[in-house]
Amino acid sequence: MENILIRSIEKKDKKWVKKVMTDAWKSEMVVASKLFNTLILPGFVAEINDQLIGVVICDIASGRLEIVSLNSTKKGKGIGTAMIEKVKEFAGKKGIKNVWLLTSNDNIDSLKFYQKRGFRITKVYPDAINRARKIKPEIPEIGNYGIPLKDALELEYKLLKKME
């Protein structure tokens, strides 16, 4: 495996990040009725040999760090894991004890990915996707694996102590 460099998003990355976010979400991202402009939030990009291959967008509020979006152009290569580790390290250095995210009830692949990396399901928000659909009507009724897309699940990773 080639060395993956994870670094903060820079101005020169914005065009690529916008394309990835547009490809993934078709427009601005809505999570549980909250609209996110992913181009102004902090985050990290992953690169190998100066080629961008992943991005993670974060939001810090109320002493918690939310992973708003995590996208990799190459699945199964450790890119997502490397970005998660960078987010945990960043949160620890900021004294943040909780890294969390929301995903939809149909996102089985995401649920598997995060739980294998120590995240736990902590809350279920019934009808959260139905409410988000009022803001972003293009959210489909049927999601991955033919599962009706209705609810959001919160996953959380608790950092044990402040990282130095």
pLDDT band for position 57 (cuts 50, 70, 90): very high
**What is d(CA 71, CA 67) in angstroms, rounded to the nearest whole number?**
11
Element holding 15 (H helix, E strand): helix 14-25
Q: Is the pLDDT of residue 67 over 60?
A: yes
Structure confidence at residue 139 (pLDDT): 86
Phi and psi at residue 144, in whole multiples of 5°? -60, 145
Output the DSSP codes for 57-120. EEEEETTEEEEEEEEESSTTSSHHHHHHHHHHHHHHHTT--EEEEEEETT-HHHHHHHHHTT-E
Of 36-45, 56-65, 103-112, the one with minimum mean pLDDT is: 36-45
Structure confidence at residue 34 (pLDDT): 59
Identify residue 44 by its one-letter amino acid code. F
What are the structural domains of the chain? 5-158 (3.40.630.30)
Angle at 42 between CA 36 and CA 45, to 5 degrees: 110
Neighbours of 147 (CB within 10 A): 13
Q: Using one digit for the tens of pLDDT, what is the confidence trace for 100-150?
A: 999 999 999 999 999 999 999 999 999 999 888 888 888 899 999 999 999
Q: What is the mean pLDDT of the chain?
A: 87
**What is d(CA 41, CA 39) in angstroms, rounded to the nearest whole number?**
6
38-49 average pLDDT score: 86
